Chains A and B, each alone.
Chain A
């Protein structure tokens, strides 16, 4: 069964810093990988979607990379802002079905 792990579990940085969130998965047979943002008590907001054939996606200050063979993805956030404070989840979609496997999340706090 697919297992998705995120490191670190929590991260606190001063405003303006660049940071990297890590996601690893055990089964490389994935359809795609998504990074989500979750604010407390709220649903998920999709940030970036990387297809299994792609190596990276960029949106604004966010850049996500995917190394499927090694089972790793990173989310890079440039010039962090207090509004970036949230929990970030990565999820892989199995290519055997429409099922997401979620990581445990990284709780990010950006200090003004």
Chain B
């Protein structure tokens, strides 16, 4: 089946630094990638939709200048958390949508971000 990887799987950083998370589709091309965030004891929440070669679409309440998304190729999307603060500590998950299909998203394993 389709595989999506995320790197790193876990990151700890100091407040004020920036962190980049990569999401890769390993054996297929993804025209659309989604970024989710999950706080403890809460459900996944969609942050943004990333389309290859165009600007990401952010959900209401998500700061686009803080969460920079780049989808430069059909197999890679990156999420950069700029000037991270402790409240940004969360579990970030990406998913990839296979071109030509509308009913399947393949999820990455997630990245645990802890900001000290």
Contacts and interface: CB of A to CB of B under 8 A. Distances in A.
B43 interface: yes
A43 B108 contact: yes
Given A31-B103, A44-B93, A93-B103, A102 B110 contact: no
B54 interface: no
A102 B47 CA distance: 13
Interface residues of A, number: 20
Contacts, number: 46
**Which secondary structure dominates chain B's binding surface?**
strand
B108 A99 contact: no
**Which secondary structure dominates chain A's binding surface?**
strand
A34 to B, nearest CB: 9
B44 A41 contact: no
Contacts of A91: 44
Interface of B: 6, 32, 34, 42-46, 49, 91, 93, 97, 102-105, 107-110, 112
Interface of A: 31-32, 41-46, 49, 51, 89, 91, 93, 98-100, 102-105
Please name the 10 residue pairs, one residue from A and one from B, whose CB atoms are nearest each other, closest first.
A43-B109, A43-B110, A102-B43, A104-B43, A44-B107, A102-B44, A43-B107, A32-B103, A43-B93, A98-B97
